[in-house]
Structure 1
Amino acid sequence: MKYIFLGILLIPQFLLAQVQVTSQTAKAEKAFTIAHSNAVASIYVDIDDYSVVDKSATLLSADIESITGKKPPLVSSLKHLKNNVIIVGTVGKNQIIDKLINKNKLDVNEIEGQWERFIIQVVDKPAKGIEKALVIAGSDKRGTAYGIFSLSEAIGVSPWYWWADVPIKESRELYFKNERYVSKKPSVKYRGIFLNDEDWGLHPWAAKNIDPKLGDIGPNTYERVFELLLRLKANMVAPAMHECTKAFFTVPGNMQMADDYGILITTSHCEPLLYNNASEWSKKEQGEWNYKTNRNEIVNALENRVKQAAENDNIYTIALRGMHDEGMKGGSDDDKLNMLTEAIKDQRTLLSKHIDKPLSEIPQIFVPYKEVLGLYEKGLDVPEDITIVWPDDNYGYIKKLGNSEEQKRKGGTGVYYHISYLGWPNDYLWLNTTPPTLMYAEMHKAYSLGADKYWLVNVGDIKPGEMGMQLFLDMAWDFEKFSFENINQYQTSYLTSIFGEKYQKDIEIIFDKYYYHGFTRKPEYMTWDWRWNSLFAHEKVKDTDLSFINYNEADKRLNDYNTISEKAKVILNQLPENLKPSFFELIYYPVKAASLYNHEMLIAQKNRWYATQNRALTNVLATDVKLYHDSLATLTAEYNNLLGGKWNGMMTAPGFLPTEQLPPTQYIEIPQTSEMGIFVEGSVSNETSKHCLPEFYNSLNNIHYFDIYNKGSVPLKWKATSNDNWININKKEGETSTEDRITVSINWELLKGKSSSEGEINVSDGETSKKIKVLASNDKLINKEQYTEYNGTISICPTEYQRKTENGNIKFQAIKGLGYTSSCLQLGNAKYDNGDDSFVEYDFHTTSTGEVTIYTYMLPLFSKDKSHSTKYGVQIDNKEKVIHHNDVKEYSKEWANNVLRNSAIDKTIVNIDKAGLHTLKIFSVDPGMIIHKIIIDTGGLKDSYIGPKTINKKF
């Protein structure tokens, strides 16, 4: 990663802002002086400009003071000023800027009349007595604000200086280097966040700390939110709307605060015309929320809201659902379709009646969420000027996008996306584990299919979703900056720019493994049951499919979490004190908390498994589970108490709501004796008289293990021997109160000339003996030209193919940092259809014959539009091509399994007549499908979750 020094920060080239500021005098000869040792520039704001411009200029003054110690005065007259001045304002609302335009000293032709653009330019002698001015001119009020905050970020004030406590680096001198900078047109017109499921984080925190007099989320909280949104170049928010929170429009000061900051208010899919029935509707006073039986009362409530909000900038949801997030009431689908049609007409009539604009100029959205999508596809007529906002399935997979006709809509289309969700089959409200690559892949598909009018992301409580929120809004602002090639480095680069280049490699490792394991199974899903109908019922916790027996799967997961937790801890301890809170919030807590919860749940599983074997360690593991649980509680309390309790109430971990609960563990009676037990890696039973380790292969140089464990409380003495000198045993005797893990490897030099060998290990405690078979193959398995069978399986990374055939406009796209192999293959861009008979080929060698099963692991994507499916093809050699699709019904059991494991797994059964070389082909049928792992089972596949590791892959 290449870095550029701008005097304030080391900034990765990928993230380099084109607005450049330096603190080095030698590099500032032609630069505009913002501040130096003796003076600081003034900031001019026209008193007739918008409130948000004044707010932004005031914050800029505070930002400069926080860096230099010198506070720029805000002025509304240039009289008597002789030093440099920063002139900020909106074209047409700032007299000085307008004069500079008229005198041809400032050219705004590129931005004038456009949406949310700005120019930053140095102007010589802008007015009498002033040598230089730094002019920030916006095409509209938010364009001006974005220009101001672009300068703030360039001088070293992170958008997250308050919300994530990113420290500001002090410097006595600041110089603006550009002569002129012109912003691009925003990629997406409306860009914002939905504050949601606030019951356990944002609401209690705000009620205690920010709006204590209100005891709720109020204007003080929203002021902080609105400032953050402006700094991130967003322009809208869907306010918190659960029953625990007073509806946004009912709290004095909220509307005015939004207007002061120039933020548009939008609402979720179930809040028609800004009305939140979850906390505003009174069944006792107003009757049922049922359009069929109570239409007049509902229309009256909506009309009152439109009258109240008409003078502000809003985006109006045209909608009809049940109470809060419930489905629509009122009979059959045909009845609901008729009701929704009438509701749309009624709501648009209210907008025309109370807002003094042509109806087509009033921003309106329609979100076909859950059952409403079915009604839309049944033929619902949505007026052309309404923006259709396509939702994901709550788990990061967009359900539908516009076809060629829908893309032509005057109102355009957009996306509603989740990085936080409360609902069936399982919530994920705690940690942000949505991989950047998944978000980019889905938003790339949406953007390429014309969904660029409105992007809303459900961020829950904001914290700890900061990095997911930042990425989403950065993409919405400038989508062309991102690509499949750089997206996996985005967060690492951003965080390295804060915490230091020397930590770049460690942060990359931390996030690679954090997102990998979060993708394979989110921490919140480690209960492994469907939690929604019994959200806090830990008695339903069951064993995971992660195996302690096969492929070292569960142990590897825990070891990886230990590794990245330790790396994060080392960095945390090395950082200066001012950087520690931010690092704790953005990196250490998510990583360590995920590790602790995975340990808590998996060690509880191991405890229950050990109990069936009567291992002496069983009860110790039960105690360990409680220690992990308590450690997570301590870590969470540390988060809430950071900086003197600044975040008190924000963070709550799983297992502590509504009361503290532990996963089930078992205790066993341990006899006052010693008794030996043996467990061999991959064994289904641990009590057989003879065991066999998985086969060793020369090319893999693999290592396997067996456990010698004690079933009693008296220490167990043991010995492990072999008459075969080519078998290496790392420990040949010992004494254990609980268990010893013994690793076995092969001395291949002693097996030269032999294609395969069979040996034996004998394990004894002096009274009983058990034998373990050892098989070693000298076959050369790893061949860059082909995949080869080992232990009855062939595991394939989809991006590592031998050949590809791309016809028409189909292109196969590798996606790093996503999937069970951490590397996916997109079978053609979803935008294009012309590419019949496009495929990739994988050569593989088998020693087995007969029936084999090919398992293809696909992302559980939906078809791109109603004219397409999710088809792809699988073929072995010249046998018949098998077409698969994953058009599963949303909210079905199959769909629920798919989203929890982030995989739709298909089986193809083929008969292979002879051993030797074969070819697997994967075909693009419906472009945009993404495959992330392939396993060919020739008869040796073991029970597990991820399956065998792909040779030469790090995961």
Structure 2
Amino acid sequence: MNNIKYILLTLCLFPLILFAQADQFVSFSDKEDVFTLVKPFIAAPILIDDNIDSGILKAITNLSVDVDKVTGVSPLLKVDKVSAEETVLLIGTIGRSEYIDDLVKNKKINASELQGKYEKYLIQTVQNPFEGVKEALVIAGSDKRGTIYGIYELSKQIGVSPWYYWADVPIKKQQNIYIKRGKYTEGEPAVKYRGIFLNDEAPALSGWANVTFGGFNSKFYEKVFELILRLKGNFFWPAMWGSAFYDDDPQNGVLANEMGIVMSTSHHEPMAMAQSDWHRYVKRNNLPNIWDYTKNTKALQESWRFGMKRAKDWEKVVTVGMRGDGDEAMSEDTNIALLEKIVKDQRKIISEVTGKKPEETPQVWALYKEVQDYYDQGMRVPDDVTLLFCDDNWGNVRKLPEINSKPHKGGYGMYYHFDYVGAPRNSKWININPIQRVWEQMNLTYTHGVDRIWVVNVGDLKPMEYPISFFLDMAWNPSQFNPHNLLDHTEKWCEQQFGGKYAKEAAQLINLYSKYNRRVTPELLNDKTYSLENYNEFETVMNDYRNLVIDAMRLYYLMPSEYKDTFDQLVLFPINACSNLYEMYYAQAKNKSYAAKKDVQANYWADKVKDCFKRDSLLTVHYNQTIAGGKWPHMMDQVRIGYRSWNNPPKSIMPKVEYIMQT
């Protein structure tokens, strides 16, 4: 009976909305009723307004490149109406495009499907859109990002994976591209702000970015932002270990705003100022470097005012509140009255800098770690500030609003973790996130009305490719998923990366390796984790991974050569490397067991430990220097062997072994 009440209450609070996932509208055959986008040596030109938004133009330019990669033909960009009998691809935003507004005026497209909508796109074939043109494929957006999402949906459907750069996914060549005549949309997103947090990014991501781009600059972030948009995300917390997004490269903020990324700063970095920003600011201005509001009020306020002035013209969500310097708790004598005063003073600065009421600038207060304790003890912020709940850093949601709680104007968000630096051990190296667990926790989150912000800590980005895709797909439309169709999503994702022939088996491999990694994270694994005696527990789990390696290697060798680098990054390497860890710690356990008996068999297992330790380094070298022609230097540099406490040692340390003298 209680379950029935819960379901009925949920339906009352959240009316059932059916979000239409985009149908497959691209075809490579003309046997259906189709619009011809590309035929041999000819592509329909792309018609745009001469004053088109520069962020949309970036996406259109990428689309043109994508079409060229698929067909070898690059469509021309035109701003003037084209000549008679031509077909065109017409792209624009309602209310901001003369061409789109003319189509609305002439009832060629329905304005009500876009006006007043949020981030919605409409892809539609239109007969005789204007004089002299026989037919157009129209991509129209309700706003800037809606238009961009429509552009990238077309790219994805012609065969360009959102991960084409970040996972080297090959692009299948086609001679023709057709569009099934009709109208297509995915509706509006369920969650307003959907994004990722690059964190714990040294030495792997930082090392790679330094070699490839010269640091976390606008060249680097352009690749990140493009990925987020191709995945229909819109929100971002930037890398912050020794980095300062706005200060490292003055073009970073300009680029984010241009491309349509909503910037924010992490849970402990208020007022658009990174932690490193603060230290640089006080040094440049000869101010006291004391992160204490009771002792250094003026300097803190000056830095926050500087941060707001720098970002005032860009789309953003401003983090408010205050934690200790360096992602630490405030001092023990911090009281709620002081924290509430800090937020009040920050909002006054926001208002003074923007010239608007504080509630007109989106703000977020992160209830992370001890900050949730302040909230539980009664601390409150103004009603327009988004309350960002958090998990426990390991994927378990800590707190949610009550199902029947009164509405909160600022809405609620969730800060989730795929990667974590902290006790009992860091988890930075590899994907440990089965999507079944992610779905269960985020579905619970959404059911409780948390739909303003979803942001996930993805560490170095690279090892988390699949869970990132799932998280952002779910953020767009949580209702599309249930316990019975999660593996279907994995299979469809694998089909996008490796082709249909290998999708089911690849999906099973991803499904199993993430399940095994959640038994115990690689950094927590050691020779004592499993028992040698109880039902051969250690040998059983080791063989689970060995069998997975056999299946992964078999599939790797069956695949065409163009897919091998992608498969290695996304499937084979994580399985191979984790299996090797299990073998190493199993060998160490056996070594200790035999050594305790003074049995010389201990020596065999000691040698096995050494072999596995060496193999771990060779696998790392393979990933960093061989895959994709050496494209990913340092990307697997995160330490996973040799932990003695919660934080990683500077380099891997071989497990201790003991040799027995033969008599």
Normalization by structure 1: what TM-score?
0.65
Q: Is the 8 A contact 1:46 1:94 kept in 2?
A: yes
- Higher helix proportion, which one? 2
Matched position secondary structure for 2:112: coil
Q: Aligned partner of 1:60: which letter?
A: L
Change (3 A) 1:135 1:500: closer
Residue 504 of structure 1, CA deviation: 4.5
Aligned to 2:25: 20
Q: Aligned partner of 1:476: which letter?
A: A
Tell me which of the two structures has the higher relative contact order, counting C-alpha pairs closer than 8 angstroms and 6 or more residues apart.
2
Q: Is the 8 A contact 2:244 2:275 kept in 1?
A: no
C-alpha offsets along residues 159-180 of structure 1, whole Å, 9 cap, x if unaligned? 0011111111100100011411
Matched position secondary structure for 1:445: helix
Q: Is the 8 A contact 1:191 1:236 kept in 2?
A: yes
Aligned to 1:630: 614
Q: Aligned partner of 2:190: which letter?
A: S
Q: Is the 8 A contact 2:169 2:497 kept in 1?
A: yes
Q: Aligned partner of 1:633: which letter?
A: S
Q: Is the 8 A contact 2:320 2:346 kept in 1?
A: yes
Q: Aligned partner of 1:183: which letter?
A: E
Change (3 A) 1:412 1:246: closer
Q: Is the 8 A contact 2:600 2:659 kept in 1?
A: no
Matched position secondary structure for 1:552: helix
Please, which of 651, 657, 663 is the counterpart of residue 659 of structure 1? Answer: 651
Aligned counterparts of 2:248 and 2:170: Cα–Cα separation in 1: 36
Change (3 A) 1:356 1:179: farther
Aligned counterparts of 1:407 and 1:64: Cα–Cα separation in 2: 49
Residues 1:551 and 2:535 are matched in the alignment:
yes
Matched position secondary structure for 1:146: helix
1:193-272, aligned counterparts within 5 Å? Answer: 193-210=196-213, 212=214, 216-243=215-242, 245-272=243-270
Aligned counterparts of 2:508 and 2:85: Cα–Cα separation in 1: 53
Q: Aligned partner of 1:669: which letter?
A: M
Aligned counterparts of 1:407 and 1:209: Cα–Cα separation in 2: 50
Q: Aligned partner of 1:666: which letter?
A: E
Aligned counterparts of 2:145 and 2:406: Cα–Cα separation in 1: 27
C-alpha offsets along residues 855-892 of structure 1, whole Å, 9 cap, x if unaligned? xxxxxxxxxxxxxxxxxxxxxxxxxxxxxxxxxxxxxx
Residues 1:192 and 2:184 are matched in the alignment:
no
Matched position secondary structure for 1:137: strand
Q: Is the 8 A contact 1:274 1:316 kept in 2?
A: yes
Give 5+ residue unaligned stretches, structure 2. 1-18, 643-648
Aligned counterparts of 1:659 and 1:370: Cα–Cα separation in 2: 29
Q: Aligned partner of 1:145: which letter?
A: I
C-alpha offsets along residues 331-385 of structure 1, whole Å, 9 cap, x if unaligned? 52xx431221111001111111112444323111111111111111111121111
Please, which of 156, 166, 170 is the counterpart of residue 153 of structure 1? Answer: 156
Change (3 A) 1:53 1:158: same
Aligned counterparts of 1:163 and 1:381: Cα–Cα separation in 2: 41
Q: Is the 8 A contact 1:276 1:324 kept in 2?
A: no
Matched position secondary structure for 1:369: coil
Residue 507 of structure 1, CA deviation: 2.8
Matched position secondary structure for 2:260: coil
Q: Is the 8 A contact 1:15 1:493 kept in 2?
A: no
Aligned counterparts of 1:490 and 1:421: Cα–Cα separation in 2: 25
Aligned counterparts of 1:648 and 1:15: Cα–Cα separation in 2: 41
C-alpha offsets along residues 419-446 of structure 1, whole Å, 9 cap, x if unaligned? 0011121111011111111110000111
Aligned counterparts of 1:127 and 1:134: Cα–Cα separation in 2: 12
1:48-63, aligned counterparts within 5 Å? Answer: 48-63=51-66
Matched position secondary structure for 2:389: strand
Matched position secondary structure for 2:473: helix
C-alpha offsets along residues 523-546 of structure 1, whole Å, 9 cap, x if unaligned? 12114xxxxxxxxxxxxxxx4241
Matched position secondary structure for 1:609: helix
Aligned counterparts of 1:571 and 1:137: Cα–Cα separation in 2: 41
Aligned counterparts of 2:136 and 2:358: Cα–Cα separation in 1: 42
Aligned to 1:523: 522
Residues 1:35 and 2:34 are matched in the alignment:
no
What is the number of equivalent residue pairs in this alignment? 633
Please, which of 89, 95, 98 is the counterpart of residue 95 of structure 1? Answer: 98
1:217-366, aligned counterparts within 5 Å? Answer: 217-243=216-242, 245-281=243-279, 285-287=286-288, 288-329=290-331, 331-332=332-333, 335-366=334-365
Aligned to 1:573: 557
Please, which of 622, 627, 631 is the counterpart of residue 646 of structure 1? Answer: 631
Residue 621 of structure 1, CA deviation: 1.1
Q: Aligned partner of 2:571: which letter?
A: I
Q: Is the 8 A contact 1:19 1:150 kept in 2?
A: no
Rg: which structure is higher? 1
Change (3 A) 1:611 1:279: farther
Aligned to 1:177: 180
Give 5+ residue unaligned stretches, structure 1. 1-13, 528-542, 672-955
Aligned counterparts of 1:363 and 1:550: Cα–Cα separation in 2: 56
Matched position secondary structure for 2:576: helix
Q: Aligned partner of 1:294: which letter?
A: N
Q: Aligned partner of 2:156: which letter?
A: E
Q: Aligned partner of 1:623: which letter?
A: D
Change (3 A) 1:414 1:16: closer
Change (3 A) 1:397 1:161: same
Aligned to 1:847: none
What is the percentage of aligned positions where both structures have the same residue? 36
Aligned counterparts of 2:338 and 2:416: Cα–Cα separation in 1: 27
Aligned counterparts of 2:305 and 2:130: Cα–Cα separation in 1: 50
Aligned counterparts of 2:246 and 2:622: Cα–Cα separation in 1: 31
Aligned counterparts of 1:358 and 1:87: Cα–Cα separation in 2: 39
Matched position secondary structure for 2:73: coil
Residues 1:588 and 2:572 are matched in the alignment:
yes
1:479-628, aligned counterparts within 5 Å? Answer: 479-527=478-526, 543-628=527-612
Q: Aligned partner of 2:399: which letter?
A: K
Q: Is the 8 A contact 2:454 2:475 kept in 1?
A: yes
Q: Aligned partner of 2:77: which letter?
A: L
Aligned counterparts of 1:382 and 1:667: Cα–Cα separation in 2: 62
C-alpha offsets along residues 280-333 of structure 1, whole Å, 9 cap, x if unaligned? 32576432100111111101100001011000001100120111201113x52x
Change (3 A) 1:57 1:327: same
Q: Is the 8 A contact 2:247 2:277 kept in 1?
A: no
C-alpha offsets along residues 153-209 of structure 1, whole Å, 9 cap, x if unaligned? 111111001111111110010001141113211010000000101111111101111
Q: Is the 8 A contact 1:239 1:248 kept in 2?
A: no
Please, which of 97, 106, 121 is the counterpart of residue 109 of structure 2? Answer: 106
Aligned counterparts of 1:32 and 1:387: Cα–Cα separation in 2: 45
1:645-724, aligned counterparts within 5 Å? Answer: 645-652=630-637, 653-655=639-641, 658-671=650-663
Greater shift, 656-665 or 113-122, is seen at 656-665
Q: Aligned partner of 2:542: which letter?
A: L
Residue 249 of structure 1, CA deviation: 3.8
Matched position secondary structure for 1:314: coil
Aligned to 1:877: none
Aligned counterparts of 2:106 and 2:245: Cα–Cα separation in 1: 49
Aligned counterparts of 1:373 and 1:640: Cα–Cα separation in 2: 40
Q: Is the 8 A contact 1:328 1:336 kept in 2?
A: no
Aligned to 1:718: none
Aligned to 2:645: none
Aligned counterparts of 1:75 and 1:525: Cα–Cα separation in 2: 57
Matched position secondary structure for 1:109: helix
Residue 108 of structure 1, CA deviation: 2.6
Aligned counterparts of 2:225 and 2:611: Cα–Cα separation in 1: 40
RMSD (Å) for aligned C-alpha atoms: 1.8
Aligned counterparts of 2:171 and 2:84: Cα–Cα separation in 1: 29
Matched position secondary structure for 1:472: helix
Q: Is the 8 A contact 1:407 1:413 kept in 2?
A: no
Residue 450 of structure 1, CA deviation: 0.1
Residue 620 of structure 1, CA deviation: 1.5
Aligned counterparts of 2:50 and 2:662: Cα–Cα separation in 1: 81
C-alpha offsets along residues 743-777 of structure 1, whole Å, 9 cap, x if unaligned? xxxxxxxxxxxxxxxxxxxxxxxxxxxxxxxxxxx
Change (3 A) 1:384 1:406: farther
Aligned counterparts of 1:177 and 1:479: Cα–Cα separation in 2: 27
Aligned to 2:9: none
Q: Aligned partner of 2:270: which letter?
A: P
